[in-house]
Amino acid sequence: MASPESAVNGPTMTAGAASKSLRNAFGGVIAFIILVLIGVLAFSIRLFSVIKYESVIHEFDPYFNYRVTQFLSKNGIYDFWNWFDDRTWYPLGRVIGGTVYPGLTLTAGTIWKVVNSLNIPLSVETVCVFTAPIFSAFASWAAYLLTKEVKGPGAGLTAAALLAMVPSYISRSVAGSYDNEAVAIFALVFTFYLYIKTLNTGSLFYATLNALAYFYMVCSWGGYTFIINLIPMHVLLCIVTGRYSSRLYIAYAPLVVLGTLLASLVPVVGFNAVLTSEHFASFLVFIIIHVVALAYYIKGILSPKMFKVAVTLVVSVGLAVCCAVIAILIAVVASSPTKGWSGRSLTLLDPTYASKYIPIIASVSEHQPPTWPSYFMDINVLAFLVPAGIIACFMPLTDSSSFVILYIVTSVYFSGVMVRLMLVLAPAACILSGIALSEAFNVLTRSIKFQLPGIAGNPSIASEENGSSTVVAPNDIPKTEEAAKEKPAKKNRKKEKENVEKKPTPSKTEKRLLVLPLEASVIAVLLLVLLGAFYVVHCVWAAAEAYSAPSIVLTSHSNDGGLHVFDDFREAYSWLSHNTDVDDKVASWWDYGYQTTAMANRTVLVDNNTWNNTHIATVGTAMSSPEKQAWEIFHSLDVKYVLVVFGGVVGYPSDDINKFLWMVRIGGGVFPHIKEPDYLRDGQYRIDAQATPTMLNCLMYKLSYFRFVETDGKGFDRVRRTEIGKKHFKLTHFEEVFTTHHWMVRIYKLKPQRNRIRGKTKKSKSSRSVSSKRDVRGKRNPWH
């Protein structure tokens, strides 16, 4: 009579057991396929720029990297290390091999070499364009690995999918955005993964890999200091919270020793790896972990009483020694003006530092603090999921989850200081959101599973459907109750029996607590899916619309829906490269230095590697001086052409007039005769009728607005939305040699020095206005 019941249970059990290994295999295959798809997604979402525009290098820094890669692929690695670039920072030059983070370049160079050795003729440019998307796919996989170590594969897959399309990372890694960060984020996440892996396994193999990954990170990006400070912080946290273990020691000590040795092999880091304050934390913690290790060891071999004696002895001696050492350290550090920190690091510690002391760092837009909308723009819904992820990490708190918490906390702070460090926040936000989402789905789907009548009779099917759930708890009581309500006709006898039988299963009560009402969980799942869908839509939009513009080509839609292309930058660079002498020097504001050297192949005075403030200040001074003084400065620097970017005709807002305040500020910082108040009216830089005479007579104004009034008769500047102040004027020391189609780039040539004719010089001097004469005396060319 009881047989029907056992007929149900019997085959289920055997089948369940047999299919278990199969299911695991399936899970592995599905996870693998999902990972591959995530990689494809990460790669393809970044191709909008190629599809909408073209396969071209973007922005400014990527052009430099591209040029270095070209050099590397042409001349080989040894020439690359020894490369002294005389086409930039004229007349100083720049030691590229020793001042560049070579990771990205070497990576792309290697890819190019491998591909070409297989006789696949890809150009260096193509390889450079697609390096970033490829490494984004790698970064997603690394995020999977890291999150898997922390919270299991389900969270890993979610995190990887989130990272594959997080807008913040997309902004730096669309196809063509050939920048250090593209590779560095992968290196960062992968280093963290290997650290966690070592921490979880205690394997020296992974510890060594970790050091190598750290080395790659050091090669790639200055942001490696984040790793070498975050990991010690975590180690310290573990020690303080009493989580010291041999695994922790293995995870940390080899990293510091090997990592520092390897890091100092990179020319740009060199002895900085032991000398600068950025690395002090790691050494300090290195000492602490040894002391702790020793303490644990001694504790192990001594009796508790003896240990107490030893502790008092060691502590008293140790304190004295420590005080002495710390005093020396402080003295050494304090003796250097920046306290041993680089300017950018100091900006991170004290956000007001740069704006006070180093205008050149403050002038870079990506060094500004972000606004709230930019958080929403860059990490979108992740911002709301992160807190849930943090909570999920606290139950239970493990070594690895505490690391993730520390990572998010520090990166949130850093991203608040510099908008560019949003990039460091993005992986952390993805990992925590992945954890949050996966935990939420876990709870919700389990709740649904136990309450759905259709699946109730067959727990093995249910658990198969939810492969990622970590807790498979076939809790039968609610299940059977449901069955009783909804299917009264079915096997009455069995139901009754089970009611009786299943009560004595107390072990399941804990799991039952997590079960939510069916309706609530269904709605919650729907909402979460909706949230995810919103995220995907936002990311695709961001990738397609916001972050794909290569910035050297601008487009606008005309009223009839046609596409208008503004290709003025390349027009100008192309003109320079074909119609000027190879050795001519071109002066422009530093923003365009990299592009000029890469695209026009002309020597520039200053470029985006802002290593010499004085030199930049010289150019800034020239731009903000009257024509004659500017000519003298430029002439003394062998400059033949001056390039200015002017948006007034088409309304291109990031032109040189809008950047002019930095020229004045940086120039004035070094050459005090440039005074910012001279250019300001009511605290503003104005170019309209209210503008100061100094402003209207400075070179930048003149070069920008030369003959501008003749375009429309009024001289209406579409960027500043005003008529210009001084409309009709002539250039005395410069002549226009090229202006692009939309007037966005204007190139002027320095007029040759006039022959000296006796008597005539006097006349020309006297003909000059009195005020400008005074100017001449007051603002002497700093180079004479």
Partner 1 sequence: MGLGLGVMRTIEFLLLIIAILSAPVLSDLILSKVERRIDLTSQIARIASTIKAENDGSSSVSEILLSIPEVQAKNLAYLTAKLVEGKGKAKTSGVALAVEPANPKGMPPALSFYTMILPKPLANGDSVTLDVLAAFTHSLRPFPEKITQADIQLVVFQDTAHYLSPYPVKVQSLTLKLPDARIESYTKLENTKGLGSEIKYGPYENLPPFSYSPVAIHFEANQAFAVARELVREIEISHWGNVQVTEHYDIVHGGAMSKGEFSRLDYQSKPQIRGASAFKHLVAKLPPRAHSIYYRDAIGNISTSHVRGDSKKTEILIEPRYPLFGGWKTAFTIGYGLPLQDFVFESEGKRFLNFSFGSPMHDLVTDSITLKVVLPEGSKYLSVSTPFVVQQEEEIKMSHLDIFGRPVVVLKKANVVPEHNQFFQVYYQFNALAMLMEPFMLITGIFFLFVTCIIYVHVDLSISKSSASYLAKLQWDDVRATVQQIQNTVNQCLSTHEKLEASLRDLSRTGDVQACKAARKATDGLLKELSKELKPLISFLQSSPPAAHILPKVEELVAKERELQERLMAKHSTIVDSYEKKLGGRETENRVASVQQKIVALRQDIEDLMEYIDEI
Give the footprint of partner 1 on this chain (CB under 8 A): 1-3, 6-7, 9-11, 13-14, 16-18, 20-21, 24, 54-56, 118-121, 472, 497-498, 500-502, 504-505, 552-553, 565, 567, 570-571, 573-575, 578-579, 599, 707, 710-711, 735-741, 743
Q: Cα separation of 377 and 228, whole Å? A: 29
Q: Which is nearer to partner 1, 107 or 740 (CB)?
A: 740
Residue type, 494: K
- By beta-carbon proximity to partner 1, the closer residue of 161 and 599 is 599
**Comparison of 337 and 504: residue with beta carbon closer to partner 1:** 504
Q: How far is the CB of 698 from partner 1 (least distance, A)?
A: 21
Closest separation between CB of residue 569 and partner 1, Å?
Answer: 9
Closest distance of CB 484 from partner 1, Å: 17
Mention every residue, 6+ apart, whose C-beta is less than 8 A from residue 134.
Answer: 43, 111
- Residue 278 vs 717, nearer CB to partner 1: 717
Rounded least distance, CB 225 to partner 1, Å: 35
Burial of 116 (0-12, 13-18, 19+ CB in 10 A): middle
> Closer to partner 1 at the Cβ: 283 or 575?
575
Q: Would you say 445 and 469 are in contact if contact means Cβ atoms under 8 Å apart?
A: yes
Cis peptide before 653 (omega within 30 of 0): no
Q: CB of 314: closest distance to partner 1 in angstroms?
A: 35
Three-state secondary structure call for residue 236: helix
Nearest of 391, 424, 417 to residue 405 by alpha carbon: 391
Shorter beta-carbon distance to partner 1: residue 299 or 508: 508
Q: In this complex, which beta carbon is closest to partner 1, that of residue 488 or of residue 713?
A: 713
Q: How far is the CB of 198 from partner 1 (least distance, A)?
A: 16
| Cis-peptide into 396, omega within 30 deg | yes
To the nearest 10°, report the CA torsion of 107, 113, 118, 120: 90
Considering beta carbons, is residue 486 or 736 the nearer one to partner 1? 736
CA distances (Å), 328 to each of 276, 285, 322, 622, in order? 15, 17, 10, 46
DSSP assignment, residue 696? H
Buried b (16+ CB within 10 A) or exposed e, 25-63: eeeeeebeebbeebbebbbebbbbbbeebebbbbbbbbb
CB of 315 to partner 1, least distance (A): 38
Q: 7 vs 287, which CB is nearer to partner 1?
A: 7
> Which residues neighbour 500 within 8 Å (Cβ) at sequence distance 6 or greater?
none
Tokens 């979108």, residue?
A: 380
Q: State the nearest-atom distance from the C-beta of 212 to partner 1, in Å.
A: 20
Cβ distance to partner 1 smaller for residue 56 or 333: 56
Long-range contacts of 323-327 (CB under 8 A, 24+ apart): none
Measured from the CB atom, the residue of 498 and 775 that comes closer to partner 1 is 498
> What gap in Å lies between CA 244 and CA 402, rounded to an integer?
13
- Give 691 or 744: the residue with its C-beta nearer to partner 1: 744
CB of 669 to partner 1, least distance (A): 34
Q: Residues 630, 631, 634, 636: is their CA dihedral positive or negative?
A: negative
C-alpha closest to that of 724 among 740, 746, 703? 703
Closest CA to 183 of 103, 259, 129, 125: 103
CB of 97 to partner 1, least distance (A): 25
* Minimum distance, C-beta of residue 567 to partner 1, in the bound complex (Å): 6
Q: How far is the CB of 447 from partner 1 (least distance, A)?
A: 20
Comparison of 593 and 667: residue with beta carbon closer to partner 1? 593
Please spell the DSSP secondary structure of 294-349, one letter per residue: HHHHHHHHS-HHHHHHHHHHHHHHHHHHHHHHHHHHHHHHHHSTTTT--HHHHHHH
Burial of 624 (0-12, 13-18, 19+ CB in 10 A): buried
Please, what sign has the CA dihedral across residues 408, 410, 416, 421?
negative
Q: Given the complex with partner 1, which of 415 and 463 has the nearer CB atom?
A: 463
Spatial distance between the Cα atoms of 147 and 151, rounded to a whole number of angstroms = 6
Q: Which residue from 510, 516, 456 is spatially nearest to 483, judged by alpha carbons?
A: 456
Provide, for the chain, the percentages of residues in helix, strand and coil under a 3-state DSSP scheme, each rounded to the nearest 5.
Answer: 65, 5, 25
Beta-bridged to residue 564, according to DSSP, are 556
Least distance CB 332 / partner 1 (angstroms): 45
Least CB distance from residue 566 to partner 1, whole Å? 9
CB of residue 493 to partner 1, shortest distance in Å: 8
Minimum CB separation from partner 1 for residue 210, in Å?
A: 20
DSSP 675: -
C-alpha span between 128 and 374 (Å, rounded): 28
CB atoms within 10 A of CB 337: 6
Exposed/middle/buried for residue 562 (C-beta within 10 Å: 0-12, 13-18, 19+): exposed
Nearer to partner 1, 2 or 770 (CB): 2
Residue among 397, 435, 407 at smallest CA distance from 234: 407
Nearer to partner 1 by C-beta: 141 or 662?
141
